[in-house]
Amino acid sequence: MPRPIRATIHLDAMQHNLERARACVPGAKAWAVVKANAYGHGLERATRAFASADGLALIEPDYAVHLRALGWTKPILLLEGVFDPADARLLASHGLNSAVHCDEQLRLLELAQLDRPVDVHLKLNTGMNRLGFSPARFAAAYARLRAIPAVRKITLMTHFANADVPAHPRLAIGEQIRRFRAAAEGLDGDWSLSNSAAVLQQAAVGASLRSDWIRPGIMLYGGSPGHESAASHGLLPAMSLESELIAVQQVEAGEYIGYGSRFQVERPMRVGVVACGYADGYPRHAGTDTPILVDGVRTRTVGRVSMDMLAVDLGPVPQAQVGSRVTLWGKGLPIDEVAHAAGTIGYELMCALAARVRVEEAPHG
């Protein structure tokens, strides 16, 4: 029999969240971002959950080819572009779109001698200072792309650094939009600007933001890209991680729990041992007081997370026993809340789900 830990993927929630993204920006076409194996949810599941998307976007060329093998016939966008000549040839042979963010990628396309037309997304650095051409060099890069016979359509794109805080004191989204508008003036092409945070902040930035394409990512999986809860935006959790208690201990006052003896029991305590640890993808740095549900009742972790187990305080759940159901995150316990308690973000928890964890799909409806 397998260990009791399991992840459940809710395709209905993923579909709902995509429609929520569309509703935020009426009329825009949507790239559903499926990088990192669809944020840990599985590429094959993503092709079904996001069947209504206008395209899928990711960074891994080999996974893009796999999407074609899975039967996805709509556009696929490589968000980081191509890395070598072989990748450039894949663009034509598998009908892939590619970001272009540096001179080296321009050169790859110029030398590739592609036998089929390809669509590209020219990236502007508007202040993120990660990828993209500077505003001063953007028009020249556009001209070089236009001169490549195999390049068909050019979309203009950027990535916002602080869309979750539109009036960010260091770099407001309005300033990034201003830089984009100035650099894109006179250049023909659709605009692709909005990540999840910008999609959800359309009410704050919509007056100055043109959106031909949106690129929702974390919101599709029920996570929040900012400080507000996912539920406050009408998003549903797409992944639940559950396990069971495999032991119950009565620990006396003054004793310690776990490696390093970091947690000392102040009064007699019933402690449950959960079949879940950092080798399953649960964050090792999640300290005492990280929220957890036992039999649907909120309680807390105690002590250090082990490779295969973690301990929980059963004080609020006196009826708990071996076999009691444990929710690490999911319905009733947002993944972002767990991540915050562990000093990280929900993205990391989703993507860290280990291969040894059994993954199931929730029944439709």
Other Cβ atoms less than 10 A from the Cβ of 26: the count is 8
Sign of the Cα torsion 216, 221, 226, 227 reads positive
DSSP state, residue 244:
E
How far CA 270 is from CA of 246, 254, 266, 267, 299, in Å, comes to 13, 14, 12, 10, 12
The Cβ-side half-sphere exposure at 79, using a 13 Å CA radius, reads 23
Is 29 catalytic? The answer is: no
Q: What is the CB-side half-sphere exposure of residue 276 using CA atoms within 13 A? A: 27
Q: Where are the beta strands (DSSP E) in the chain?
A: 6-9, 29-33, 55-58, 76-78, 97-100, 118-123, 151-157, 191-194, 213-214, 239-251, 256-257, 263-264, 269-274, 291-294, 297-302, 310-313, 325-329, 358-361
Do 31 and 215 contact (CB within 8 A), yes or no? yes
Catalytic option among 39, 74, 221, 259: 259
Which residue among 35, 63, 221, 347 is the active-site one? 35
- Please give the angle made by the CA atoms of 263, 329 and 359, to the nearest 5 degrees: 120
Instruction: Give catalytic status of residue 259 as yes or no.
Output: yes
Sequence length of the chain is 365
Q: 3-state secondary structure string, 121-141?
A: EEEECCCCCCCCECHHHHHHH
- Residues in CB range of 136: below 8 A, 6 or more apart: none
Closest Cα partner for 237 from 346, 323, 360? 346
CB atoms closer than 10 angstroms to residue 6? 15
Beta pairing partners, 365:
none
Q: In this structure, which amino acid lies at residue 275?
A: A
- Return d(Cα 177, Cα 183) in angstroms, integer: 10
* Catalytic residue ranges: 35, 259
